[in-house]
Structure 1
Amino acid sequence: MDIEYLRSNLRVAFWKSFRQFLSRPVEVTIGDTSAKFIASELPEYQRCSSLGGERAIVRDILSHLKSDDTFYDIGANIGTHSCFVGRSLQEGTLIPFEPFPPNTHRLEENLELNDINPSVEGRALSDHDGTVSLHLTGEHVAEGGNSLVNRSGTEKVIQVETVTGDTFVYEEGHPAPDIVKLDVEGAEKEVLRGMRQVLNESECRAIYYESHQDGDDVHDLLRSVGFTIDTLQSRGSETHYRAEKRV
């Protein structure tokens, strides 16, 4: 028998079986909370099943969350954090921000799958109202490196609308956050500058954020509005922090 023919048939059989496996939602449990996710491709399955390597972060968020909190998920991607938070909130409010259209669509699907019905915000939070280039690391759902800052030198960009957190709260009338999760691939400073009034005046008590390389500017900005900072985990050049403020 032709070896290449056999290998080809085996590859086809493997991918048929794997795609059939991916047709079922991925269920993940942390403590008493479970969430389901759609995974149509291998990278999406890997992000859902591992929560992007942030299971400990999600667990810490849930331990600090109150049932009536307002939670901002800034850089929500496909909802690995939002779905767990939404399943835990009762009287509270979940507001996910995700400007990359393929991720926005999957985020909405995952929220619906978990019986969570917030309004997904397709604008990017930044330090100005208007538009900005979103630099893409890829064009597929669950891409995790897209950023308002061109860190990777990519030439793939799309234009997205932006709004500051201060405009979102004080001019548009949305509730201010009690807890924020911030994962914007190097644009943390811009997002926080745009919501400085919110952080200074509201009852926001915790911010979970990921910093790449030197995060001193971000730390200094948060300390200037009353937050103290603890390191939660490090992974390569990425470090996850929890900033807290007594309110």
Structure 2
Amino acid sequence: MDTQSPFGTYRVSERVRFMWRLADQHKFWRSVRKMVRRASAALYGGPYDAEVEGLRFRLYPGENYDDRKILAKGRLPEKEEHRIIADFLTPGRTFVDVGANVGTYSLFAAKAGMNVVSIEANPVTAEKLTFNARANGMANLKVVECGVGAVPGTFSLWLEPSNSGFATMVEDLTTGEWAGNWKPVSVPVQPLKDILAEEEVEEVDLLKIDVEGFEDRVLLPFLRGRDKTSWPRAILLETNCREFWEEDCLQFLEHGGYRVHAQTKDNLVLSR
């Protein structure tokens, strides 16, 4: 990993783009896609510097799904989610991104003029995110390298080398459908309210949480510790791992006055 060389050091050739587009072809059987992806990762794992939608990224497609999508599609991933949250990106307000990965949401919001707190537990991914923020000259984006949970402590964060952005604190998720070559690393964890207090954030306008089945343990203690009048105006919540929640976030949010603003395959956007 190189986070010191200036952006533009690693150019993307047409051969690289072609191979990652090929690996992303869903007309192929899944087994064929995996084989092409392994070959592409071995030969063209990165880094590569690319600019998409006016944002600069240093990409490592061999080990990160979002980086692969940026190279293959030539745009940001989560296209529909970005379209939906655009209505909530108010310049000068605060966006908190829990599970920020390499910054596809955080940089998007910072470019729109929001003050962004990007929280990422994986130390390697947090370093990549810091580089991306610096490459875009975004003084309004602060990276916090920390896990988020109900109580402070040190927790195991499970990582899968083919997609470092898909990290989880839910060990049960690492088997069955999501089985892979998972390995744990120890990371510090703090409640969200404590992180925001340290960053001197009093109000959150838009909150995004994507932590692979740990969303309830991030969100619910945070909301319960605040007066309802200071709850976020909108929440983007990943739901594709909701079977691993210990408590139903959606029922709690509905009782708290949130309504579904929009829904995609993997996420809900709720607003008050």
**Structure 1 length as normaliser, TM-score?**
0.77
Unaligned stretches of 5+ in structure 2?
1-14, 20-42, 176-180
- What one-letter code is carried by the residue in structure 1 that aligns with 2:50? V
User: Compared with structure 1, are the counterparts of its residues 22 and 165 closer, same or farther at alpha carbon in structure 2 (3 Å cutoff)?
Assistant: closer
Superposition deviation, residue 168 in structure 1: 2.9
Specify the structure having the higher radius of gyration (Cα).
1
2:156 to 133, 138, 145: 133
Cα distance between partner residues in 1 of 2:186 and 2:89: 34
Cα distance between partner residues in 1 of 2:222 and 2:184: 25
Cα distance between partner residues in 2 of 1:155 and 1:88: 36
User: Compared with structure 1, are the counterparts of its residues 172 and 101 closer, same or farther at alpha carbon in structure 2 (3 Å cutoff)?
Assistant: closer
Mapped pair 1:182 → 2:204: no
User: Compared with structure 1, are the counterparts of its residues 173 and 156 closer, same or farther at alpha carbon in structure 2 (3 Å cutoff)?
Assistant: same
Identical counterparts, % of pairs: 23
Superposition deviation, residue 131 in structure 1: 1.6
User: Is the CA contact 2:220–2:249 (under 8 Å) kept in the aligned structure 1?
Assistant: no
Corresponding residue of 2:237: 209
Unaligned stretches of 5+ in structure 1?
1-13
Corresponding residue of 1:25: 49
Superposition deviation, residue 124 in structure 1: 1.2
User: Is the CA contact 2:84–2:262 (under 8 Å) kept in the aligned structure 1?
Assistant: no
Corresponding residue of 2:257: 226
2:170 to 149, 158, 164: 149
Superposition deviation, residue 133 in structure 1: 1.2
Count of paired positions: 219
User: Compared with structure 1, are the counterparts of its residues 27 and 155 closer, same or farther at alpha carbon in structure 2 (3 Å cutoff)?
Assistant: closer
Corresponding residue of 1:69: 93
**Structure 2 length as normaliser, TM-score?**
0.71
Corresponding residue of 1:112: 134
Aligned-residue CA RMSD in angstroms? 2.8
User: Is the CA contact 1:147–1:186 (under 8 Å) kept in the aligned structure 2?
Assistant: yes
